[in-house]
A and B are shown apart, each in its own frame.
Chain A
């Protein structure tokens, strides 16, 4: 299968989308961004290829599954077991790194005993973590493992007298080793096989479908990079596009009627106007200050000791939105603490914080020329239901009734645009990269 890849290297996450020769999306992958950009890109691409192979498994299963619902359930089960296997693999690597660091650092025996206890507990609770309906702080190993490790380290510190700082320091070092681990090209085959075995014989032919999907050759035609770290991506200069163009084209591909795009990413907010072909006609980005971007929510999540994914759903439980005046992230944190001390409900405060970031993006939209029908909201923050609800309300107040598009895959908009640019390049250059390889 030949594909074109678009990689969006953002400040918080790195996304990859692969499209087929007809421009159809084959797979999407995401990982947390890290200091080693190349590894982040490789991991995101590897995840997109895994996603594409899962789609292949689904196609292979079609004749065997009795109905769509059954197939869907089975695939979700397969993927959950796959993620469990993947987590176990990372955890084993992480544990080895921690123990190596312990050896090198010459730690006291009670620290070693505490760390070994943490690692054993983490390994033992993996099944619970990946049980049907299990709650995880995020999809990234750093967040999932970090959350559990720190929780257990607090307990170990309290009950076993080991230094929390020492244990936290070990995590910080070891997680870097895990994150700098190169992507494993055989990851799908290894973990999917194990996942299929774990599911037993719930559907005849599952193992064979996994084998056939794993065997499909994936050949890359071209790639285009975008995002904040794009200049460091392993692509030639002419294969790098600004995220503005990629978000414009990606939004157009997802919703062809799009005229205005709002993208709230980790550290910048973009208001983009596009024409009927997805070509950007004007744009505005926040410049002097990054308040009101995704990082704002990340900061608030940390302040409240919550996962980023938990913020929106909690804010949706608000009875009213507390007015938050500060546009500065740090000051908003101070306002948050003050409101909590005054006895305001966390849900209400969070709703106010979501409204504050949306109001900030409204001035950027106004600056770019306003909001036109259809309006598409993209970026990581578009996955947050409270942000979406606040935006919907404010946009309608200011610009009247219009179609507002939000895709569950909106975080991939930039990467999709980049992949489509890559495809165009392939068509234009007559597949120069492929020829060179041949």
Chain B
């Protein structure tokens, strides 16, 4: 989920997919910037439980404030934006995505390409396991005086999706969300069009999952965390259901296949990883203010992330779920309820254990985020349980999403080095 034009995260040599995603993102932001003139309408929404196909089926453009916040961080703007939000009375402990977004709004709402983003025409609040989302859009509603539609996605507290839950979400889609989108766009809901887009989503999902699973190879041709959020995942959220996204993932798959055929490792900030020494699974979001530095701390040790949970915030596809064009609203409901943030703790533990097993990982690393209670609550219990079940060592580091004050490079490096040395020492002793 990188910024077009961002240099801090740029690897030394870019693959075609990276250049292509950069181009596509730039075009998307350009279109948003021009929308006040072209008359195109937009919908601000969140990554987890996003209804990109549905939004796009009305020819509306999605805007994702979390992505804007992390891009601001990568552009070195978040410190200033957070400070602006704090001056307005937002506490130091509030989610820094929110403060960064509010600060950006108050500073001209300039997006990652340097052009202003349009004000929201509609706030589509997909509530999937993060309580802060509600507060966030409450603030935006006050700031922009625009309509809000809330899609309440029931939490998978028992680890399953029941018919009643499905009906509940479908009912909201039919009775609340679709009418709001119809009103905004002036277009009628076109289910056939939606079906077509969902079919394209399913195709892209097949290729995305293939790419993610390629990390089971040795060496892994991808980094499923840093690369995952940099060029593998973001296209998915903003472009799902479009032919461009389907083409992108088909091309990415070919590119990764080539890497496998040639026995090449993943791209890293300093070029290709020459020797894979450690394979780890990562739980938790990355730090965005020092993304490159953080990634390098792994790459310098020859550590590749073979699976991560943060890349599943926008949807969990690697255990079989695909958007099903034959049941458009039901499938959207299932997608929303299946996002990683909407899973209960045992579900998260199960997923991590499977990743450790399926990807032959040496251990689990948790990056705990200071200002993200939604993600961090329960992480130590998850860590302990995964260790107990798999017998593989877990490590724990702490940083923040977009507040640079909470990234202490020396401390994080120290803990990561200790963790990797522990893996090596244990391996040597085994």
Task: Write the residues of chain A forming the contact surface with B, with a CB cutoff of 8 angstroms.
Answer: 228, 241-245, 268, 277, 279-285, 287-288, 367, 369
Contacts and interface: CB of A to CB of B under 8 A. Distances in A.
Contacts, number: 51
Given A281-B426, A283-B418, A285-B415, A369 B397 contact: no
Nearest to B413: A231
A288 B429 contact: no
Contacts of A367: 380, 396
A283 B397 contact: no
Contacts of B370: 288
A244 B418 contact: yes
A241 B411 contact: no
Counting from the closest, the 10 A-B pairs by CB-CB distance are A242-B418, A287-B398, A244-B418, A242-B421, A279-B429, A280-B422, A288-B398, A242-B417, A245-B421, A282-B393
A242 B412 CA distance: 13
B406 A288 contact: yes
Contacts of B418: 242-245, 283, 285
Contacts of A284: 396
Interface in B389-408: 393-398, 406, 408
B422 A245 contact: yes
B425 interface: yes
Interface of B: 370, 380, 384, 387, 393-398, 406, 408, 411, 414-415, 417-418, 421-422, 425-426, 429
Contacts of B397: 287
Contact of A241 (B380, B387, B394, B421): B421
Contacts of A279: 425-426, 429
A364 to B, nearest CB: 10
A319 B415 CA distance: 40
B351 to A, nearest CB: 21
Nearest to A368: B396
B385 to A, nearest CB: 12
Contacts of B421: 241-242, 244-245
Contact of B384 (A242, A244, A280, A369): A369
A360 to B, nearest CB: 15
Contacts of B406: 288
B415 A282 contact: no
A244 B411 CA distance: 13
A103 B415 CA distance: 48
A282 B387 contact: yes
Q: Is chain B's interface secondary structure helix, strand, loop, or mixed overall?
A: helix
Contacts of A241: 421
8 contacts: A242-B414, A242-B418, A245-B421, A285-B415, A285-B418, A288-B370, A288-B408, A367-B380
B384 A287 contact: no
Contacts of B429: 277, 279
Contacts of A283: 395, 418, 422
A228 B426 contact: no
Nearest to B370: A288
A367 B380 CA distance: 7
B175 to A, nearest CB: 45
Given A282-B387, A282-B393, A282-B394, A287 B422 contact: no
A287 B414 CA distance: 10
B380 A287 contact: no
A410 B429 CA distance: 25
B393 A281 contact: yes
Nearest to A290: B411
Contacts of A242: 414, 417-418, 421-422
B411 A287 contact: yes
Given A280-B425, A281-B426, 6 more contacts: A228-B414, A243-B418, A279-B425, A285-B418, A288-B406, A369-B387
A241 B429 CA distance: 16
A241 B414 CA distance: 10
A301 B271 CA distance: 50
Contacts of A244: 418, 421-422
Contacts of B394: 282
A403 B366 CA distance: 32
Contacts of B422: 242, 244-245, 280, 282-283
Contacts of A288: 370, 398, 406, 408
Nearest to B396: A284
A282 B370 CA distance: 22
A387 B288 CA distance: 39
A239 to B, nearest CB: 12
A191 B13 CA distance: 60
A256 B60 CA distance: 67
A251 B412 CA distance: 24
Contacts of A281: 393, 426
A287 B406 CA distance: 10
Nearest to B384: A369
A363 to B, nearest CB: 10
A246 B411 CA distance: 17
B146 to A, nearest CB: 37
B138 to A, nearest CB: 28
Contacts of B393: 281-282
- Max chain A CB contacts within 10 Å: which of B380, B396, B422? B422
Nearest to A284: B396
Contacts of A245: 418, 421-422, 425
Nearest to A428: B428
Contacts of B414: 228, 242, 285
A370 B30 CA distance: 54
Nearest to B400: A288
Nearest to B415: A285
A283 B422 CA distance: 9
Contacts of A277: 429
A270 B395 CA distance: 13
A255 to B, nearest CB: 19
A244 B406 CA distance: 23
Nearest to A280: B422
Nearest to A285: B415
A277 B425 CA distance: 11
Nearest to B410: A228
A284 B415 CA distance: 9
Contacts of B411: 268, 285, 287
B123 to A, nearest CB: 33
A425 to B, nearest CB: 12
Nearest to B420: A242
Contacts of B417: 242
Contacts of B384: 369
A109 to B, nearest CB: 47
Contacts of B398: 287-288
A362 to B, nearest CB: 14
A245 B393 CA distance: 14
Nearest to B363: A282
Nearest to B388: A369
A229 B14 CA distance: 35
A285 B422 CA distance: 14
